[in-house]
Amino acid sequence: MASRSAASTNFTRACRTGRAAILDIDLSALLALGAVPKQYTPLQRYPSSAFDLSVVTGLRELSGELRKARRRRRRRECESVDYLYAYRGTPLADDRQSLTYRVSSRPRHTLSNDETSTVRSGIIDALRAAGYQLRV
């Protein structure tokens, strides 16, 4: 019983600081949906290239909005833009965070360093044009 009491106290404390969440899932309804059918995905013919970008934003900035801004500029070349993590702390101000993404290219041929740099620069320019600061 002591662990249940401690958990309750910790949850109450988390609620007061605004850092608590409750997730209620009906597993029987989820299992009733059945398995997702597997789909064939062909292997890539050419190697992809990936790089990480960290963007400094306000604490309430939506990760999805940044992702859309990034993909608008280079839709053809981007295979995926995946959220990795958020960082808060020094050297950032208290009201700022750094959101890091991994951008993977979708090549039509084997990309040279110059071509990869061009894709990366285009995405960085689009983010800066939208008013975002990048963390280097």
Q: What is the pLDDT of residues 115-134, one digit of tens each?
A: 888 888 888 888 888 888 88
Chain mean pLDDT for the chain: 79
| CB neighbours of residue 134 within 10 Å | 13
The confidence band for 52, taking pLDDT boundaries of 50, 70 and 90, is very high
Q: Residue 113's pLDDT is what?
A: 86
Q: Which of 13-22, 66-75, 80-89 has the lowest mean pLDDT?
A: 66-75
Q: What are the Cα distances from residue 70, in Å, to 29, 63, 92?
A: 37, 11, 22
Return the higher-pLDDT residue of 116 and 75. Answer: 116
Average pLDDT over residues 109-115: 85
Say which CATH architecture domain 50-135 belongs to: 2-Layer Sandwich (3.30)
- Picking from 20, 14, 88, 17, the residue whose alpha carbon sits closest to that of residue 56 is 88
Domain extent listing, the chain: 50-135
* Residue 52: its H or E element: strand 50-58
Q: Does the pLDDT at position 49 exceed 60?
A: yes
Q: Residue 11's pLDDT is what?
A: 67
Kindly state the tokens that stand for 4: 């249940």
Q: Which of 20-29, 44-53, 97-106 has the lowest mean pLDDT?
A: 20-29
Residues 6+ apart with CB under 8 A from 119: 49, 74, 77, 78, 105, 111
